Structure formats: structure tokens, C-alpha cells
Amino acid sequence: MAKLAINGGPPVRTRPWPRWPQWDEREEQRVRDVLHSDDWGGFAPVVAEFEHAFAQYHGAAFGIAAVNGTQTLVAALMAVGTGPGDEVIVPPYTFIATASAVRLVGATPVFADIEADTYNLDPDAAEAAITSRTRAMIPVHFAGHAADIDRLTVLARRHGLVLIEDAAHAHGASWRGRMCGSLGDVGSFSFQSSKNMTAGEGGVLTTNDRALADA
């Protein structure tokens, strides 16, 4: 029987792990362009350029950049009017921000279980968790694997709930040919350093609803 590497056996991998994040002279040049523009504020033209391009790629009409993925969730919850006394259904298997953003607007996160084969919010469990105080659901597209948006959309419409996609892991992911971030009322993306598209930090909201974009 082979000895494990931790016990002195041969390592499974001898080559170095790939560098992350990955970048080249194109990113370096864009950073230099901003640096030399002396326009470092959040309303610099490159921000609007990015918002438009990111939203368009994900099939959404509007993109709104923010400081991180937690604040995009907070902004989405505020935009749809969620606050004290409201409940928001979230999965228990996710980064803390999915639930803590709900608390930051004064609402209560209610955990509904995940599906064993996808690790995403179980629509049956979500339906069982709905009460008269439920205002919204935040399914997470965990590890880029899209949640069952078809069933969750039907559920949200039946009960008059807002559907906010936590797409922090789902840059470029799709569900039945439609891009994540454009499937619910609002999509929330993160660019934190561990994400599959990263700027070190940052986030962006996507939506097809002009009123929500304005809010």
C-alpha cells in the first residue's frame, strides 16, 4: 500500500501550482491608463465602460459597480425595499455575506437546505421556509454551478418574492442557455481575490429592470 505524502510518501503533484490571479500586459496597460489619467474616482469613464461590458456579456441591460460583493447584495436588498421585519431565504452552504447582507439591512436570514447533488438551494426546502414575512430569496450559483432558476422563478412569482442571484462564483456561467446574473430580478457578482474573475476586490450588480438599476 502506497504511503501518503504527508507520511513521507511521494507527492501527488511536483509541478508548481498555476499563478493566481492570472494577468498579462493587457491588464497592466489598463491599470497604467487609469493611473496616468489622474481620474481614480468611482465615476471615471472606465467604470461605466466596464459596467456596460460586463452587463452586456451576461445578458443584462444594466450594470452597477460597487466596492465588493457584500455591498452589492446589500444594495440589491435595499433597492427592492427589504428591511426590518422582513425575512430572506438563503442557503446555509455559502460565504457568510449571503446571510450577513440580509442582517445589514435589518432583515432576517432564513436558511433553507441545499440539494445533495448540486450544493445549491433546494426549491422544495425554500418553499417550505416561506412565511408571511418572506420578502426575497437569494439562491447561490455555488462554484459556478447554476441553481435551478426555473423552479425558483416559479416559486418566487407564486409567492410574490424578489429573486436575487448570488452569482459571486458564476462569472460567465449559464442556465439553459441564459447567462447567470440576468435570470432573477437582480444579480450580484464579486471580484474578490479567490473568484474566477478577480480585481482583488470589487463587485457589480446586474439587472434588466431600469427602476431597480436606478434604485
Residue numbers annotated as active site: 195
Exposure b/e, 40-71, CB count within 10 A at least 16 = b: eeeeeeebeebbeebbeebbbebbbbbebbbb
CB atoms within 10 A of CB 14: 6
Tell which residue, 204, 210, 215, has the closest CA to residue 79.
215
Residue 17 CA, distance from chain mean position: 26
Q: Which amino acid is at 206?
A: T
Q: Is 206 helix (H, G, I), strand (E, B) or coil?
A: strand
- Residues 18, 165: Cα–Cα separation, whole Å: 30
- Residues 110, 53: Cα–Cα separation, whole Å: 34
35: Cβ contacts below 8 Å, ≥ 6 apart? none
Tell which residue, 70, 120, 123, has the closest CA to residue 92.
120
